[in-house]
């Protein structure tokens, strides 16, 4: 199947928004230390860009979860491939994810992390697809609201491809174009 990518959000626009979110975090957490917990693999790219613009003391950790397989729709079942490499107990934790789609992955994750007694727990997502929500999740920081399209780039993949694209694009399949 041949694929084509239509650019939706340019790199400059993403980085400008990342800076705004970082500034907001810097203000809100002034005088405190934070833990950024990036969700692999998609959230890794955003976590790195965000962390470079954070000026309060920051620890960076990652955990790996899967909810998608290689297809286009969420299975609903979340698997922890590798748990957080940071102790979140008593820490101000910000979970950093690429996208909130159905909300299932983050609901599962946030419930799990809350049981570990962090001092505070917030959610930061680069993208939000509200039309697709199956479970309500409140994000504290959102980069962009996006339409219900299949997106790739800046960490988002299709069958593990396209994560490295510096922009966010819509993946068009042959049938979308004919
Ligand atoms: P949720 O549990 O349905 O909210 O799924 C969230 C996960 O699905 C994200 O972390 C992504 O890995 C994946 N995902 C959701 N929408 C897209 C998309 O448009 N492109 C690529 N991956 C997506
Ligand atoms: Mg993901």
What single string gives the DSSP state of each residue in 120-160? Answer: EEEEEEEEE-GGG-SS----SEEEEE--SS-EEBTTB-BTT
Residue 173 Cβ < 6 Å to ligand 1: no
Residue 78 DSSP code: -
In 3D space, the residue among 73, 66, 143, 61 whose CA is nearest the CA of residue 101 turns out to be 73
Are 56 and 33 spatial neighbours (Cβ–Cβ below 8 Å)?
A: yes
Both tokens of residue 35? 């833990």
Residues, Cβ < 5 Å to ion ligand 2: 42
The CA distance from 70 to 96, in Å, is: 21
Query: Of the listed 101, 140, 148, 157, which one is catalytic?
Result: 101
Burial class of residue 11, CB neighbours in 10 A (0-12, 13-18, 19+): middle
Task: Using the atom order of ligand 1, give the atom closest to the CA of residue 103.
Answer: 4
Per-residue pLDDT of the chain (178 residues; tens, 9 = 90+): 688 999 999 999 999 999 999 999 999 999 999 999 999 999 999 999 999 999 999 999 999 988 755 455 566 678 899 999 999 999 999 999 999 999 988 999 999 999 999 999 999 999 999 998 989 998 999 999 999 999 999 999 999 999 999 999 999 987 776 6
Q: Residue of the nearest CA to atom 5 in ligand 1?
A: 101
Residue 151 Cβ < 6 Å to ligand 1: yes
Residue 107 Cβ < 6 Å to ligand 1: no
Whole-model pTM: value is: 0.93
Residue 9 Cβ < 6 Å to ligand 1: no
The CA distance from 3 to 97, in Å, is: 25
Any catalytic annotation for residue 101? yes
Cis peptide leading into residue 93 (ω within 30°): no
Looking only at the bridges linking them, the beta strands covering 120-128 and 92-100 are parallel
Q: What is the pLDDT of residue 93?
A: 98
Please identify which residue in the block is written with the tokens 């297809």.
71
Task: Using the atom order of ligand 1, give the atom closest to the CA of residue 137.
Answer: 4
């Amino acid at each position: 199947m041949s694929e084509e990518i239509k650019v939706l959000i340019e790199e400059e626009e993403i980085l400008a928004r990342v800076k705004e979110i970082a500034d907001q975090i810097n203000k809100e957490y002034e005088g405190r230390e934070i833990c950024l917990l990036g969700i692999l693999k998609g959230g890794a790219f955003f976590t790195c860009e965000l962390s470079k613009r954070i000026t309060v003391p920051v620890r960076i950790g990652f955990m790996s979860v899967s909810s998608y397989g290689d297809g286009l729709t969420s299975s609903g079942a979340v698997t922890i491939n590798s748990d957080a490499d940071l102790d979140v107990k008593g820490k101000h934790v910000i979970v950093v994810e690429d996208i909130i789609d159905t909300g299932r992955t983050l609901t599962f994750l946030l419930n799990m992390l809350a049981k570990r007694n962090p001092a505070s727990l917030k959610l930061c997502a680069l993208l939000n697809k509200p039309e697709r929500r199956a479970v309500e999740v409140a994000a504290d920081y959102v980069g962009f609201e996006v339409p219900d399209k299949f997106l790739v780039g800046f960490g988002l993949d299709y069958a593990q491809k396209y994560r490295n694209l510096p922009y966010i694009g819509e993946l068009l399949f042959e049938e979308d174009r004919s």
